[in-house]
Amino acid sequence: MKISVLGCGRWGSFHLWYAADLGYQVTGWEPADSKNFALLTKKRSNPYLHLQDSIFLTTDLEEALDADQIIISVPAQLFRGLVAQLAKYDLSKIDVVLCMKGLELSTGKRLSVVATEEGLKAKSVSIWVGPGHPQDFVAGVPGCMLISSLDEDVSVRITERMGSSLVRMYRSTDLIGCEIGAAAKNVIGIAAGMLDGMKMSGLKGALMARAPQEVARLIQASGGDWRSVYGLSHLGDYEATLFSKFSRNRNFGEAMVREEEMKGLAEGVPTSLAMLSLADRLSVELPITSMVRSIIDGETDLRTAIGQLFLRPQKEEFSVSLK
């Protein structure tokens, strides 16, 4: 079994490490102008892990496409450009697994939709989402993650191939709900970090109670199963995203409040705009997402926004209705 990973940053390097740990023949790829990849190739390590000697690293895309399965782990906003390159190749015998949690900023579209639009010709396309951080997995802390595909047989095949005692795999055929839920949890993570920065962490309970309903409405309006929001793709990922010290989105929200610089990508920033674009087309209200975006854009100060959203007196508890 040959597995290639396209995009070898934090999550991509974990997928390299994990696939090699499962005993597969593993190749990692990034373009030749990637300085971080050049450093990874030289040192065979990054701040998160050390790569096994068996892993082959290349900047030759065709070389990386000699695989039975391709795992893609690039920033969501760079995905269309990459898949446009991949569409030039016949991948009809290759399973493609998308490991990004985001929506396209310019269109608000899910990444599996982007793959279809760009004409990706693959044996299958699925997503790999759910809670976990490379630092925990490499340290031997087990977790549960999710494979979702429109085809149940595909989901079964990928979960059986990639599951282990370290990463127990679950599966779903609700690709819409799982993609939107996974992307949206990063925005909620930013909100949680803002609360931490304001020393209002006690409001995380209210955040966790309200956010799934907001996201469920967006999933339902998009044609997905709203119940997926309560699975591993969204609510099940809250501990890793809203509380963990390793969460980039939580760290971004906290750093923003404290007016500190944070290095690294926080996917929730562009995703918040993409969600609002999608919600506007579907006439869905996203008060938490709107609050996060208005604070990022400097349109509303955090304390005012928090007061408007959470601290209204004598407020009747929200209904569970999605109508």
Domain extents for the chain? 2-173, 176-310
Catalytic residues: 185
Distance CA 141, CA 130 (A): 15
The Cα angle at residue 266 between residues 294 and 242, in degrees rounded to 5: 80
Report CA torsion sign: 297, 298, 301, 304. Answer: negative
Tokens encoding 263: 């290095």
* Model pLDDT, residue 262: 79
Taking the chain (323 residues) in runs of 10, the rounded mean pLDDT of each run is 97 97 98 95 95 98 97 96 96 97 93 97 97 95 97 96 97 97 97 94 93 96 97 96 95 92 85 95 95 91 79 50 48
- According to CATH, the topology of domain 2-173 is Rossmann fold (3.40.50)
* Model pLDDT, residue 30: 97
Tokens encoding 318: 């929200």
Model pTM greater than 0.75? yes
Sequence-distant (6+) residues with CB within 8 A of 221 are 279, 282, 283, 284
* Model pLDDT, residue 302: 80
The CATH superfamily label for domain 176-310 reads N-(1-d-carboxylethyl)-l-norvaline Dehydrogenase; domain 2 (1.10.1040.10)
